[in-house]
Amino acid sequence: MTKARSFDVGAIQLRCPNSWDDVLTKITTQKSMTAVTSTSSTQKALNTFWKNKLTSDEIITQSPNVLPKHIYKRLAGQQKSKDNISGCSVNTSYDAAVKECQAKVAAIVAECRRNNIKYTDNDFDLDDMDYCLKPLTVTVPGTLNGEEHTQTGPPKKTNNVKTVITRTGIVKLTAAEVRGPACAKRVGDIFENPKFFIEHEAHVQDIRQGSEGDCWFISSLACLTIDEAFPRLINKLCPEKARNEEIGVYGFVFYRDGEWVSEIIDDKLYLTNPDYDDCDDDRRSVWDRSHGRLDPEFSRTEYKKAFQTGSNALFFGSCADPNETWLPLIEKAFAKVHGDFDSINGGWPGEGVEDLTGGVTTKLISSDILDKDNFWTQGLLKVGNEFIFNAGTRNYTHPDLEELGRQGIEDDHAYSVLRAVEYQGNRLCLLKNPWGETEWNGPWSDGSKEWTREALDALNHKFGNEGIFWMPYEDFLSRYDEIWRTRLFHCDWLCWNVAQHWTTVNVPWSGDYNETFFHFTIFEPTTTVVVLSQLDNRYFGGFAGQYTYSLSFYLHSSGQKSHIVRGYSSGDRSATTEIFLEAGTYEVFLQITGYRDDTLPKVEDVVKQNWLSRRDKLIQIGLKHDMAYAKGTIDENFSKKNERMSLATSAILTPPITPPVTPSTPSSENAPEMDKHAWNASCIIGLKVYTYQTIATIGLGKATDTDEVETIENADEKGQAIRKILSTLDDTFSSNLHKMKIRTKKKSLKVKWKFHGRNWKEETGLCDEKKGGKRERKEKKRERKRERKEEKSREKRKRKRKL
């Protein structure tokens, strides 16, 4: 969005709105009339274009509400998003979510026992595959290309292509990729002896990715199952008292947009193969021919045992043990809280760890690491203690079907970093492929020459194709392009405190730093983690609209021009930094860059095409959208365009966007139409400040457009006086305007208007509106002078007559 033009006015600056740009173009130069005429047509066309395409930044655009207000109020009830939190422990939100989760499960168990039935989740019943698998979509003619962040696995060979809209864009999917699960069955019908945990805990070797493209989420789960370091981290997601395996109800908690939320599911899971009676003719005939000598009932039983029993029968993620169930149930709950399974297809591993732990992730590019020794000692060696690490490979431009050059490392794939150790002078990293197979085959791989019996015992390693492998630190940095480091707070939950504040800001087309900024105060020197976030639109797929945003910020000490540190983007939704700060007040200046993709569906189009055919889905996702966007409350002082004064009382006075001679309402015929393709981006952002053993308070401010501004008192009165003067300007007046200056006096404002070839002054008093202008006062002064002069002449004549 273009910046407003401004005029120097001594110690104060007056901003001229964008709608006057065509006037300013003609009046800021003293060239000949021929030159002005030759350039004005081009400039006028450009000014008209920008005026139509860029909306005013004077009014903050509120995000649309998907659901009608009366439906939203009824469904939302007492639920309220925690938009602003001041100085509380990081575990406060978690404890509240766990209690809520346990209460929901207890109520469900009591009801099911009274009715003597197992629990069925009517809000996410897997028998309704259209609801649980597919996002809200719109019909799009033709085919367009698009890319996901991660791939589901090796490329599949097929010629059939279908165009669908996913969370990140419009993509072409092959028939094999479109093929979904065959049916859904309860845990008791799939597993012979089901156990949520085998031996009462989760282990990294349990994890296997299924047909869903959520390697980012599965690799995040793998980081939480390192029993040496985090024996209880998985248990925090699924509290023991929040499930009843007999009834078939399970409760989980996840971290979303600054707060922990609970989710309840039943025990139905998707299977890859259909029931015996639902087999297609080819599969049924092959099975019957190969088992023709068996009793038909026994043949049916053998079919179920072969295709629909144990972990191998599951369509999505599964545990390695044939009777363990924790992983597919967590994956199902994670899909439900996001709306459907498609919503968790593709993502960043660091964001997955944040969703599971409430930590803060920093994204690193391996080639950008300055001191690799320091990163090893202060970073990777602390994996499992203060940090969790994930790593990702890039998407190579050519395939490696024989897997010779990549040495077993898959491209465009996410891995978990489990351990980092130094053994006999070797720096080694232990990694996990969420597929549960396909391992590194270079130095220190299974069976390589580096291994000895002593090394196997020292590193507690066993050979096997489980997707877990060791590799040298140097190869780790060269093979993995992106590394995600997540700071954990769980070990010192009673010591870490968090404050957060959410608001809505306009996002300028130009990507300039936003005039809205956050400021926070800490009261003791402390390690501080600063996080600038936007809402996670994965939770309301289809309603994200056409705009996406990337975030960054500068951290300043209050009133200082030079910044302390910059916070860089750490994925799709946040920018972070971690630094030790002294007690004091600090300012966070925002840079939000917006991108618009016209091929993505508009919110209104999604609603129009789904309100009848997929009503329940629309209500569910629409409610999540509206409750999430309710965080972005806007202070009236920030939204009224005619009252936009700096919170720091800086004298940046803004005249009306359109200065009419007299107020009037245009007719419908003459009313200008807004360009439907105009830039109109607004983003809900939140600042979270984590502090160790102290608290922080957060507020909002408005940045000024000049470094040298005078702080004045009675700014509102003076601002009203200036706006009163500016409101009298008409187009003829402003077309001849060349320069404008304003000077403040103790009780008045002097405004000087300079035209081409003439000057004019007007002074407005603030204390007495009945006072005339300067011209009238001069005239009165002259009259008094004449009167005094005449009085003196009369007295002189009188004295002469007496003599």
Half-sphere exposure in the Cβ direction for 385 (13 Å, CA): 9
Burial 397-422 (b: 16+ CB within 10 A, else e): eeeeeeeeebbbbbeebbbbbbbbee
Query: Pairing between strand 584-596 and 513-522?
Result: antiparallel
In 3D space, the residue among 206, 616, 133, 595 whose CA is nearest the CA of residue 416 turns out to be 206
In single-letter form, the type of residue at position 501 comes to H
Cα angle vertex 714, ends 710, 718, to 5°? 85
DSSP state of 383: B
For the record, the structure tokens of 447 come out as: 């069976």
Q: Which one of 101, 112, 215, 319 is the catalytic residue?
A: 215
By the 8 A CB rule, do 530 and 576 touch?
Answer: yes
DSSP state of 125: -
Helical H runs in 611-706? 615-629, 636-639
**Would you mind telling me the total number of residues written for the chain in this entry?**
803
In 3D space, the residue among 392, 378, 380, 416 whose CA is nearest the CA of residue 233 turns out to be 416
Q: Which one of 47, 91, 433, 514 is the catalytic residue?
A: 433
Half-sphere exposure in the Cβ direction for 350 (13 Å, CA): 23
**704: which strand partners?**
none
By the 8 A CB rule, do 43 and 22 touch?
Answer: yes
Would you tell me how many other CB atoms lie within 10 Å of the CB of residue 240?
Answer: 10
Q: Which one of 149, 203, 338, 413 is the catalytic residue?
A: 413
For the record, the structure tokens of 267 come out as: 């025990």
In 3D space, the residue among 458, 470, 393, 388 whose CA is nearest the CA of residue 428 turns out to be 470
Burial 518-542 (b: 16+ CB within 10 A, else e): bbbbbeeebebbbbbbbbbbbbbbb
133 CA to centre of own chain = 23
By the 8 A CB rule, do 183 and 213 touch?
Answer: no
215 is catalytic: yes
For the record, the structure tokens of 248 come out as: 């078939």
In 3D space, the residue among 199, 195, 179 whose CA is nearest the CA of residue 187 turns out to be 195
223 is catalytic: no
By the 8 A CB rule, do 391 and 431 touch?
Answer: yes
Q: In what order do the strands lie in the sheet with 682-692?
A: 85-89, 496-506, 682-692, 526-534, 574-581, 563-569, 547-557, 584-596, 513-522, 696-702
In single-letter form, the type of residue at position 758 comes to R
465 is catalytic: no
For the record, the structure tokens of 487 come out as: 């700071």
Would you tell me how many other CB atoms lie within 10 Å of the CB of residue 597?
Answer: 13
Long-range CB pairs of 228-236, under 8 A, 24+ apart, other chains included: 228/384, 228/419, 229/383, 229/384, 229/385, 230/384, 231/201, 233/357, 233/490, 234/201, 234/202, 234/326, 235/201, 236/94, 236/357, 236/490
DSSP state of 51: H
* Residues taking part in catalysis: 215, 413, 433
